Amino acid sequence: MVTPDLTARVGSLLLKNPVMSASGTFGYGLEFAPFYDISRLGAVIVKGLSLLPTRGNAPQRIVETPAGMLNAIGLQNIGVERFIGEVAPRLEDAGAVFVANIYGRTEEEYEEVARRLSAVPALAAVELNVSCPNVREGGIAFGSTAKGLYGLTRRVRAATAKPLWVKLSPNVTDIGEMARAAEDSGADAVSLVNTLLGMAVDPRTRRPRLGNVTGGLSGPAIKPVALRMVWEACKAVKIPVIGIGGIRSAEDALEFLLVGAAAVQVGTANFRNPNACIEIVEGIRDFLAREGIRGVKEYRGSFLP
C-alpha cells in the first residue's frame, strides 16, 4: 500500500495537507488545541479581523436548520492589533500555519488591516472577506459586483506582499466572472463559497428567529451548490481555487479536490464535531492509500464529466 503525499500547493504556499479550518467556525484556532495538535492542519483560517474590535450583531445569532445552520454573528472579533499582539505569537508557538481573514467597512480599513498584518512574519496569507452577508457595511457590499471586487482587491493587493486570497460569495449570478475579477486584480487564490443568504421565522410569534432577520446558511444543505460553483470557478481562472461549503467528511472533501480545488476549508462541521478537520485529513490519506493513488496532486482535477 502506498503512503500518499498529502501536500497541497496554493500559489506560493505549500501546505502539509489540503484541509484547512474555515474562518468564523474555528475561533482563532487556539480554542481547538485541547482536541488535537492544530499544526496537523493544512492551515488555520482565523475568524474575520477588522481594524477595531467589533461586538457583532445582537442575539439571536444562530439558528439550526434541518440540514445546516443559519448564522448572523456579524463578524464579532478582537481587532487586528490584539490579534497581532496576543494571538499570532501563540499560533506560531503551536506550530500552526495560519491565515488571517480580514474585513473592513471601507476600502481604507481593508487596506490598513492588511498593511498591519503584513508585519507578522509567521502569517502565511491574507484572506479577503468580501462575502459576509451579515453586516450592513463592507463585506458583501464590495463582493456583489465584479467592479467592486476588482477595485477592492487591487487596493489591498498594493497594501500587502502576503499571498492574497479572496473569499467569494455564492449570492451572485456568475461565479466565474467574480473569480476572474479577483484574478485580474492580483489575487493569488480564491476561496468559495461563503454562506448563502437565508432567513427563518417563528410562525407563532410572527417574528424572525435571527436578531438580524437574515443570515448566512451553511452546512450540508449548501454542498451541492458550493461544489458546482467551485467547479465553475476552476474552469474560469488559472489561480488556485479553495473549496468551501458543507464539507463534513473525507468523501465531501475529495469531491471538491476532484473537480479541481487546490485545497478545502471545513466550517460548520466543526460545531458538530470538533475533530472534523483532522478526521477528514486522515480519511483523505486512507482513501488515497486504498486506491493506490500517490498523492493529492495526482488525484486533484481528475474529474470525468
| 132: annotated active-site residue | yes
| Torsional sign, CA 103, 108, 112, 115 | positive
Q: Report how far residue 68's alpha carbon sits from residue 199's, in angstroms, rounded to the nearest whole number.
A: 12
Q: Which of these is catalytic: 132, 146, 181, 241?
A: 132
Per-residue cell: 253? 472533501
The Cα-based distances of 166 to 69, 169, 203, 283, 303 in angstroms read 23, 10, 38, 28, 24
What letter does residue 290 receive in the DSSP assignment? H
Per-residue cell: 204? 407563532
My answer on whether omega of the bond before 60 falls inside 30° of 0, hence cis, is yes
My answer on whether omega of the bond before 201 falls inside 30° of 0, hence cis, is no
Element (H, E) at 244: strand 241-244
Instruction: Report the 10 Å Cβ neighbour count for 141.
Output: 16
Residues belonging to the active site? 132
